[in-house]
Structure 1
Amino acid sequence: MRSLLQSIINFFDLRLLVWVPGLWLILSAVTPTLLTQLDRQLFFTGASLSRGIQRPPVIDILELSSTQMQQLMDDPGQDPDVLSLIEYLSKKQQRTGIILNDLPRPLVPPVALPVTETPPSDVTPPPADAAWQTRLAAQQRLQRWLTSPDVIVGSKTLSTTLAPTQQVMAREPRWTMYYQWLPASMQPLLFPAAPLLESANLPWQIFPAPVINSQENNLQQALLWFREGAWYPSMALALLPLQDNLAWRGRSELHGATQGRLYTNIDGSVIPVFQAQGPFPPVTRHYTLQRFLQQPSEESPPLLLIGTADDKSLLSLAGLMQSLYTDNYHTSPWWFYGAEKILLLLMLVYLLWILPRMSGGVALLATLLCLLLLLVVQLGGQITQSRWLPLGLTMQYVLWGFLVMALWRQQQKPHKRLQQRHQDVACQLSQQLMQQGQLDQAVKALEDCATSERVLQLLYDIGGQHERKRRLSDALAVYRVLYKRHRSFKDVTKRLKQLTDKQHSPAEDIELTLSKTVVLADPHSRPQFGRYNIEREIGRGAMGVVYLGHDPQIARRVAIKTLDYSRYDTGELAAVKTRFFREAEAAGRLRHPNIVTVYDVGEEHDLAFIAMDYVAGQPLSNFITPKNLLPMAQVYRIVADVAEALAYAHSRQIVHRDIKPGNILYHPDSKKVTVTDFGIARIVSDARTQTGEIVGSPLYMSPEQVKGQKVGEASDIFSLAVTFFQLLSGELPFHGDNIAGLSYQIIHGKHKNIRDLRSQIPTSASRIINKALQKEPGDRYGNAADMARSLRKALQKDFA
């Protein structure tokens, strides 16, 4: 049974107990009596604090029995006490309110005396006729008293009658027009007046008397009643003497010398302090008919109320009048009704959306502060401005909602713990997948996770990984998922815009010189090849861009040479990839101080890369113009170092095939020389390079390389001699207007005499160059080591 009850509780969402009452309170204009008790207690508390409750002027209440009231209306002359009352009231001329249940009935004359005849004055009527005349005179006197200006007739059962000249002395609640667009259930409740009689032929007016409902205990009492778009005064408003300004002292707008206007609530009511059911009951004296006739005639209270003994509205009317006399009444501003609905809506949002996101202690403190603020506003408005803001309904709803949400939070704890475990596992799995490069699976692992800082950061990192891998469309997709979860997380909006612009922008072919570098300032989107983080661009070669990178595993700076697949057609991509990885295979076998060291090789979805030792320095292509030539002795040392490096490579069966100044790095301070770019290197023992394949730089090619013949070590010696010639003179040994002319000169033409270009050059340079530039490979140096020895020997002899 217990498990069944627990299952029902788990299935039932307790938040419905906040949703349903909240919507009902917002959409309904009716408040249950039970929920008004708090406002009632707070009202009297605020009233006692707002001003000292002074003793009001006493009001006399004459309570007639039902029989006496019936005799007063039907035949006041039959009862001596009732007749005495009529005579007393007619002489007193006191402000009086009387509440009737029935209208007076006209007397029927005796049959012996026609109604239309009046006995002569000198004739004594019979006893029966004399009695009827006395009864008729008493009724006429009653009617004259009822029509006097000091007497106000009220009724809860009779239709009201108003004279055409009756003036409403209270401020009319004109703001009801602003609530007409609301549904009927949400419009403020107005006091409905009893229907007016079609014919107002009565000699007196009848005003609506207070209606006491035993089922309700409202604080408000009507001063105005609403009927068919017009406002009419109640009995209490009619009882206020026109010249008496006590009733609206301090809060009135005087118009002329005798007329004022009272503030009322939007429904035409006010909230009196003196109430029969409150701590400040009306100060009254109650009389029976006999006792009232025995009181001294000189006592004259400001108001006399007459009604039946069981009529509770007499006491209610007395309290309202005393509150008006002493200015102890309150009103609510016209805007409060709409403001209360908005406040309830805000509390509904707070309870259902804001409070669940707070911790338990913070939620309790915030709710207590909210209740305290509502209490201060309610009592503060009443004490300082006599404005009644009944916020008790909102307070009770907030307290109820907090208790329900506390139970709901307790109910959700096991589910949240399970959800948190699932989220932790999902985040760990996503992080592992991201580290393994499975980025799509890493995003899917986070799909069912609730939004949190950790989830957002993982998505941000995955998007950055896609950016570093140059997968713009995938990065866009991840950032869009992140944007839906949290629009302002870091710079996700900026990244979405940048990636969208890149997708719609044509690719730009940026030509950069080898000495120019491009700084990649954004660490989040900085490219990454394999495990290597890219810092900046340091050059461009025949196959791709060269970057300065960082190996995070061993904290070493490396040079990353890339091959961009998008630059090649599908047909030639395979051959280019073969040549590129051949460089890695060739250079990876070489370990020489003057040859760049290759550490790693890899392939991404759109490029291949080689990670090699980062060598600081400048390419010798910076020193091949006549204005930038290096000292000749230094040129001898550089070319000798390169020759020795080539001799080492040749001993490992590797031919460089593209020796030129741009592939030789030189550091002026350390004087270190490094041969780079074995991009078209050929392993001699491998038959992959076929006859007829022409690769290399035409200006530095050997004759056999231009012819497309099989090349060997002698080809590198020839290219190194061309480089030696250019570094010394600033010019090339062979010239041509086009590739065909240049090729002809290399194959058949004689190179220039270098001493004719620069006379300071030693004769040893001419001898070395002449031998290394022979057309036939066999006529050149037997190997690069021989050329290196000749250079070293000439250096000692010519520059000692």
Structure 2
Amino acid sequence: MWRTDGLRGALAAAVLVALCAATGVFQWLEYRVYDAATSIHTPAPLPEIAIIGIDDASLESLGNGPWSRDVYAKLIDQLSAAGAKTIVLTPSFAEPQSDRGLAYLRKMRDTMARAGDTSPLATELSRTVDEAEKALDSDARLAASIQRAGNVFLASRYTLAGGARTPLPAYAHRSVLPNPASFAIPATSAQNPVAGIGSVAAGVGHLSVALDEDGHLRGIPLLLRYDDVGVPSLALLAARHSLHLGQNELRVQTEPQGIRMGGLHVVTDGSAVMHPRFHAAPDGASAFPVVSFAQVSSGKIPPQDFKDKVVLVGETSNALVTPWVQSGARTMYPVEMLAQTLSAIRLGLGVQRPEWVWTMSWGSALGALLFVALALPRLSRPAGGVLGAGLLLLLVATEWGLLRYAGFWIPLAPGVLALLGGITAFAVLGKLSARGTPPSAETAETDRMMGLALQGQGQLDMAFERLRRVPPSDALMDNLYHLAQDFERKRNFAKAKSVYKHILQHNKGYKDAHARYKRVRAHLQKETGAPSSTPASIPPTPAPRLPGDAATGIPMLGRYQIDREIGKGAMGVVYLGRDPKIGRVVAIKTLALGEEFEGDALIDARARFFREAETAGRLQHPCIVTIFDAGEEHDLAYIAMEFLKGADLARACHAGHLLPVATVLSIGARVAEALDYAHAHNVVHRDIKPANIMFDAATDAVKVTDFGIARITDSSKTRTGLVLGTPSFMSPEQLAGKKVDGRSDLYSLGVTLFQLLTGSLPLRGESMTELMHKIANAEAPDIRQLRPELSPAVARVVAQALQKRPEARYQTGRQFAADLRLAGVAAGQAGSPEPGAVVYDADRDATGHEMADFQRTVMEQPAGRGAAFPPISGAR
């Protein structure tokens, strides 16, 4: 299955790659990466370049175009006189410009010449006609200025598709290169300056661009193929002239690919297209200095500012030209693009895109698919995920780094998408496969133990969710059977029905599950809207036991009158009752044995119930709640115990409600003594926690409740491996389901003291699994980390109680209590033992027996005490 997932993941990735290639997604992604990587940072632009813009202010000052070419002639004269190195004019001069009267003047001159008149008047008229012709012929004036300057380059326009083909003028051949064959984009039509102007220019170059599929401008063709020659771009001619190179020093170079200009190599692709790295400018401004044409023409900007500059003259107004989109929303006018290209040529800022890049691009996609199909299935899922993510980052970083720092554009989007799609598909397929794969034995046992722990906490719904994940087995069936009985006891028949149904789906003949299923279904049908979670109610008043009971209608359990419900617990409902014979007020805890057991199991449970109740009833200690009676009526078992004043210590575990340290140490010592007494009588509590310790501040009375109740109410479940108790307070051996003795209660008391002193548990987890792992493996923190003012003696006692190994903890509650009292004395917080404290040695002797596991350690000194833990209780 694992290897099949790899092949299916690779197939899914291949389909994704094919779709992206067909829809242009790859090209879109590559353009985004290119734009981002090439616009982050570039060196400063070439300082020699200056732009004179024909902007809106110039149009307002000099009028709308077309301007008289005298205006350009005047500008050229100014720049030439100032010592400009190179002058480039980008406006079109493809059409002649002359005054309409010029033709009439020329006709007059021809007529006078044919007449042969040599009179003084004819001579004066001929001179006047010549002067008028010169004044009106702006093309001639511009040509004269261009010829005098000797460094003026003009722009031609070429169409790359469509248009009528016209022969290349003779003067244009002075700037062209030999036939570049396939190393140039072919052009279909041309528009050159008029012969009178073009013939005197230092060179004529094209100002064409090649837009990408998304309409953005990233590449500039440095050569166009027209009439079997290579027409250079205006930027290439201006760069050559600014470096004082001759025409013969400009040539095509095939290895490495590009154009050689003297000693400078200009990087291009196989079609002589250069991808310049554009200089970034803040807030949409130009990266080069731009001044207004009108300001230079009027003398407001001195022409001397352009000495030794490459001056580019062109339109910078939307009224004259539409700007090109460079990347994103960034736009540039043709003259700005010319400046960017010229600067990139001179500074070597071209991005190289060799012909073999597509082999590497699709090779990366093939490699990614092979990795998903062959390598991933051989790795563990975590290792495969980490390696796949690393390769993914490597591909992205490689493309980005080559573009950003080396000027190489190698599109790796196919490989990135193939790897990303393959890893994602592999992971998804793995999860889908895992749903149909049985969990491992270790995982199943973890889920079962977690379910049992949740059941022990009373979180039955969560327990069912855990247990239903476990593969069926005899142990699981038994666990589910008892869980369903718990739901029945809480009268949650809907949930009980679901659990029984789950059992019957795997084992139709399991015990009496089918009969119980029918019974809870009948209960559901008979319900009249009462909440399904309502516990078993007190039965109607039985036959009168005391005179007058039938008349009053007071509900009874045994001889006790029931006043009201005062609480609910995991075992059932707690009622306030009264013994009418002696007027004693009692608390009565109930358990519906009839709903819990049937047949022989009910007989055994009833016998065990009373035996355990008798054991707990023998505990006569001032700090243990007294059990007065136990009985059963109408299948409802009950235990009558003393009604306690005060409240449990659950509220005293929260910040802001903590008890004084002296009080906590005193309570802990008395609880430890009570546990010592119980352990000597072979009774282990199993659920020591703040909620099971009652404290009356008015009388300073301490009582430990629920002694033996966990064992009484869940004896059958103990045989099935149920971990009893509250997980946060359970000892490591109790959590592991091992046999426990009194030292487990002492560990729980240590957790309780930690929480009462700090308001926090020593070990916590985000989940039950994490909590169980920490209790089994992680050491508890020093209590002074949370409450520094506590004495070292207190910290040592708590740390001793929280040792992982039972042999390293306190071995008896008497030892624990003695150390707590001495710790209080050392800190000046608690007094000496109270007068009349109970001595338990005689009680131990009176019992005649002790717990087998407990007997070997009860009188031994705690392990690991040494010098740090002097034998305090031994001194007693």
TM over 0.5: no
Considering only CA atoms, is the larger Rg found in Structure 1 or Structure 2?
Answer: 1
* TM-score bucket of the superposed structures, by smaller chain: 0.3 to 0.5
TM-score (norm 2): 0.31
